[in-house]
Structure 1
Amino acid sequence: MDATTAAITAFWREFAGSEGALHALPLRERVEEGNALLERHLEGLALEMSGGDQDAVVDLIVTAHGSIDCFPLLVQMVAAAPRLQHHAPRAFRERTQQPDFPIGMDDFELSTSEVLIACSQDDGQAALEIRFGREIPQDFQDHVRNMAFIMIDHVLGEYDFAVKVGAVDFVEESADPDAEWTPLSLLPPVFDRYWSETLGRTGDFPTGEHEWEGLTLAFAGSDDQEAGESQDTAIVMVNRSANPVAMRADLAYALTLDLAVGDRDELEAVQDLHDQAATLLELPQLGILAYTMSRNGRRKAVYYVGDEQLAKQTLAPLLLRDEAASLELSTTFDPAWSGYFEFAVH
C-alpha cells in the first residue's frame, strides 16, 4: 500500500469511527470538524455538506476547489469511501440547482443575473468573456472579479469550470460584435449547447470508420541544422472522430504506448499492435485512440481512458508480444485533453 492509499484509508477509518458524533452536530460544525479531520491525513482537498441539520443522510462533497492537480487524489478518495450511515460521498462540487443568486463580500453584493457571459473557442476548450450589467466602482474591480469566479464555479460546477473552460477575460465589450451575452444565472443550458453543438462534444462514442488527419511537424532546432542533415520532424495522425468524447470525465487519462520502429517490417508490426490496442479499448468503450506520432525511430499512440489500471489489464496480452519488447508505457492525467488539442486544432 502506497502512502497516499494509506492516508486515504486512515481518513475514512477515522471519519467512519466519528460519524455518530459528527451527525449529532449542526451541519456547519460538522463541516468544520470533518475538514479538521481531513487535514490530518490529506492536503489539497476539502469537505462540504449539502442538506439540513435534521437530515438522516446528507451529501458529503469532496472538492479540490478547482485545482486540477488534485483531481486524481479526489477521485481516488471518493472511490475508496466506505458505506456510511449518515453521509453520501460525492466527487466535486456540482452545479447549483438555483443558479439565480447573489453573494456579498465586504459590503458589496453582486447577483448572477448581473454577470454577463459570452462563449467562444479557446483551442479545445470554451473561452468565457465576462462583463457586468451594472456599474462597478473602480475600487471594487478586482474584488468583483473574484466574486464572479466563485459564482461561475457554483453555476457550472467544479469539474466543468476547471476542465472545459480555458481563457476567462473580463471585457467592457466583446471583440466579436455578434457575441451573444447570457446572464450567468441562465448560463448552464447555453454553455451545454455551445459545448455540444458548436464544439461538437456530444459525448457520444464514435462508431464506424474513424476520420484521421495527417500532420508533418518540424521541431525547434531544425532550421539551424547544416544542409544534408536529417531534420527533426514528426508525422502525427490525429483522430478527428475522437472530438465528440473529448474531455469526458470518464476519459481523463492519456495512456501512451511508445515503441521502437527500425524498418518497414517493424513499422507495420507496431502499427498493427497500436490498432489492436485501439480495438480492445474501443469496443467496450474503455478508451479511444486519439493520435499517433512517429519521430526519431519510434512510434507512439496515445489513448484516452478512464480507468488506467483496467486499460493496462485489457492490453496486457498485446504487451507480451515480441514487437512490444521496446515498449515505453506511461499515463498522464489530462482531463482537458491538452495533448490531443495540441494537434487537433491545427
Structure 2
Amino acid sequence: MKLYRTFFLLMLSLLARTAVASPESDFWTWFQQNEDEIFNFEKNQEVVFDKLAARMQKVNPSLTFEFGPKEDGKREFVVSADGIKKAFPSVEKLCAAAPQLKKWKVIKFRQRREPFDMNYGGISVRAATVTVSIARDGPKAALTVLIPGYTESKRESYAGIAFLILDQALGEYDVETRVGVIDVAAPSARYGQVRTLADLPKAFDELLGH
C-alpha cells in the first residue's frame, strides 16, 4: 500500500510538472542552468549565441536577443521580435515568464538608442547626416527618412537603412505600433521642417501625445 501511494504521488508530481511546462518556462530553465556561460559569453561568443538562438527559436522562430555591457555585476538581456509585429506577443509572454535573476535585467523589445553610422547593402550612411520629416497619420505618425545620396535604383537598400535607423531612434515597439507610413528619399527643400535623429524622439512623442 505504501509503495502504491509513493508511486501515485510521483505520478501526480510528474503530471503537474508536465501541465505547467511551456516553451517559455523551458527556455528560462535552460537559461538558468547555463547562466554563467551566457553572462560571460565573450569567452566563447559564437557557440553561446548559437545555443541561445536555437533555444529562443523553440519559443518563436522570429525571436532574437541583445546584451548590454556588464555593469555592477549585472547585464541587460533584450528580447526582441526583430521588428516582426506578429511575434510581439511571444516577446511579452517570454519576458512575463522570466524568473528573478540576480545578474540580469530582462527588457522587452529593442529600446531607443543613439543611432550609429552603418553600412548596409554596400551603402555607407553617417547617422549625423540623416534627417526625418514627420507628420500626423491618423492616430500614428508618417515618417520620411531623408538620406544623402539616396537613389531610386537602390531604393530597397536605402529603405532597409531607414527602418534600421528608425528602430534605433524610436525603439522597436514604437516603430511597429505607432508609426504608419514610412518612406525614404533624398533631402529636399520640399520637405520643409525636418528633424535630426537626435531631435526625432521628442518630436515624435509630442506629435502623438506620448
The TM-score with structure 1 as length reference comes to: 0.50
Structure 1 residue 15: deviation in Å? 0.9
Q: What residue is the counterpart of 2:197 in the other structure? A: 184
> Is the 8 Å Cα contact of residues 139 and 208 (structure 2) preserved in structure 1?
no
Which one of the candidate residues 26, 30, 41 is aligned to 2:42? 26
Relative to structure 1, the CA distance from residue 136 to residue 194 in structure 2 (aligned partners, 3 Å threshold; closer, same or farther) is: same
Q: What residue is the counterpart of 2:139 in the other structure? A: 124
Q: What residue is the counterpart of 2:99 in the other structure? A: 82
Q: What residue is the counterpart of 2:123 in the other structure? A: 108
Q: What residue is the counterpart of 2:63 in the other structure? A: 45
Q: What residue is the counterpart of 1:12 in the other structure? A: 28
Q: What residue is the counterpart of 2:165 in the other structure? A: 151
Structure 1 residue 178: deviation in Å? 7.0
Q: What whole-Å deviation, never above 9, does each CA across 1:154-208 have from its counterpart, x for those lacking one?
A: 110011111110011234578x957421122431112112222xxxxx5xxxxxx
- The CA RMSD measured in Å over matched residues stands at 2.9
> Is the 8 Å Cα contact of residues 117 and 182 (structure 1) preserved in structure 2?
yes
Structure 1 residue 48: deviation in Å? 1.3
Which one of the candidate residues 57, 62, 72 is aligned to 2:89? 72
Q: What whole-Å deviation, never above 9, does each CA across 1:108-158 have from its counterpart, x for those lacking one?
A: 3102222221111222111112222x2235653321221111111011001
Describe the SS at the equivalent of 1:40.
Answer: helix
Describe the SS at the equivalent of 2:76.
Answer: strand
Q: What whole-Å deviation, never above 9, does each CA across 1:238-275 have from its counterpart, x for those lacking one?
A: xxxxxxxxxxxxxxxxxxxxxxxxxxxxxxxxxxxxxx
> Is the 8 Å Cα contact of residues 78 and 106 (structure 2) preserved in structure 1?
yes
Give, as a single letter, the amino acid of the residue that structure 1 aligns with 2:203: V
Structure with greater strand percent: 1
Deviates more, 1:1-10 or 1:27-36: 1-10
Higher relative contact order (CA 8 A, sep 6+): 2
2:153 and 2:185 mapped to 1: Cα distance?
Answer: 17
> Is the 8 Å Cα contact of residues 95 and 156 (structure 1) preserved in structure 2?
yes
Give, as a single letter, the amino acid of the residue that structure 1 aligns with 2:182: V
> Is the 8 Å Cα contact of residues 46 and 62 (structure 1) preserved in structure 2?
yes
Relative to structure 1, the CA distance from residue 19 to residue 195 in structure 2 (aligned partners, 3 Å threshold; closer, same or farther) is: same
Taking only the aligned residue pairs, the percentage that are identical comes to 24
Matches for 1:88-237 after TM superposition, within 5 Å:
88-96=105-113, 98-99=114-115, 101-132=116-147, 134-136=148-150, 139-172=153-186, 179-196=192-209, 202=210
Describe the SS at the equivalent of 1:65.
Answer: coil
Q: What whole-Å deviation, never above 9, does each CA across 1:290-309 have from its counterpart, x for those lacking one?
A: xxxxxxxxxxxxxxxxxxxx
1:4 and 1:183 mapped to 2: Cα distance?
Answer: 49
Structure 1 residue 51: deviation in Å? 1.2
Matches for 1:229-248 after TM superposition, within 5 Å:
none
Structure 1 stretches of 4+ moved >6 Å: 1-5
In terms of Rg, which structure is larger? 1
> Is the 8 Å Cα contact of residues 78 and 89 (structure 1) preserved in structure 2?
yes
The TM-score with structure 2 as length reference comes to: 0.78
Q: What residue is the counterpart of 1:232 in the other structure? A: none
Unmatched tracts of structure 2, length 5 or more: 1-15
Describe the SS at the equivalent of 1:61.
Answer: strand
1:106 and 1:178 mapped to 2: Cα distance?
Answer: 26
Relative to structure 1, the CA distance from residue 102 to residue 5 in structure 2 (aligned partners, 3 Å threshold; closer, same or farther) is: farther
> Is the 8 Å Cα contact of residues 39 and 75 (structure 2) preserved in structure 1?
no
Structure 1 residue 24: deviation in Å? 3.3
